[in-house]
Chain A
Amino acid sequence: QKEVEQDPGPLSVPEGAIVSLNCTYSNSAFQYFMWYRQYSRKGPELLMYTYSSGNKEDGRFTAQVDKSSKYISLFIRDSQPSDSATYLCAMKGGANNLFFGTGTRLTVIP
């Protein structure tokens, strides 16, 4: 069983739609949860960083963590064509190394 499960998509939405991206995990020791955005041929770019359960909002992006369900989400409001990318969830526990999902490829259609 993988440590982190993420639906690879692809996911296509019209411009302006609300996007919901999700990951589940199995290791209850994970405490730090991240979402990275990766454009083609580029490195992962940190979008959201949260500790433990709860919500965090940054502009059009909202990250949610539900540790009781081992489930994390990223919501993108008013999606734009420039949001088209692969979104990676990542998490870590006591050690510093990250465990990644496979990534969800998102396309926002103008």
Chain B
Amino acid sequence: EAGVTQFPSHSVIEKGQTVTLRCDPISGHDNLYWYRRVMGKEIKFLLHFVKESKQDESGMPNNRFLAERTGGTYSTLKVQPAELEDSGVYFCASSRQGQGGEAFFGQGTRLTVV
């Protein structure tokens, strides 16, 4: 069974540009999460999809971040326009339906805004 897959693995963009990160969850996992780790800090929650619906987006930093999950399958996280403080590692995770399911993480996308 394939794990959670994220693209790209690394992205370097200039301040003001747009970047789109993609996550393919484990097949059959209804829950999809985005997390972010900025340098020196803990991994922090951004948002949670249940199928195609946003269940909780309380962790999204501001309206420059837009997440979508097309048809309840893969998800994208767009940052537009990117700022220097957006640099970090963005992780995607997925879990089965329900509250107690174990979350499995992708390898992350390292975003560097210069």
Contacts and interface: CB of A to CB of B under 8 A. Distances in A.
A3 to B, nearest CB: 9
Interface string A87-103: 01010001111111111
A18 interface: no
Contacts of B45: 97-99
A82 to B, nearest CB: 18
A51 B101 CA distance: 11
Interface residues of B, number: 28
Contact of B104 (A32, A46, A51, A97): A46
B4 A43 contact: yes
A97 B99 CA distance: 10
B74 interface: no
Contacts of B4: 43
B91 A44 contact: yes
B71 interface: no
Given A42-B107, A44-B105, A51-B100, A97 B56 contact: yes
Contacts of B84: none
Contacts of B100: 32, 51
A103 B42 contact: yes
A4 interface: yes
Interface of A: 2, 4, 6, 32, 34, 36, 41-46, 49, 51, 88, 90, 94-103
Interface of B: 4, 6, 31, 33, 35, 41-45, 48, 55-56, 59, 91, 93, 95, 99-108, 110
Given A42-B107, A44-B91, 19 more contacts: A2-B42, A32-B100, A41-B110, A43-B4, A43-B6, A44-B105, A46-B103, A46-B104, A46-B105, A49-B102, A90-B43, A94-B99, A96-B33, A96-B48, A96-B101, A96-B103, A98-B33, A98-B35, A102-B42
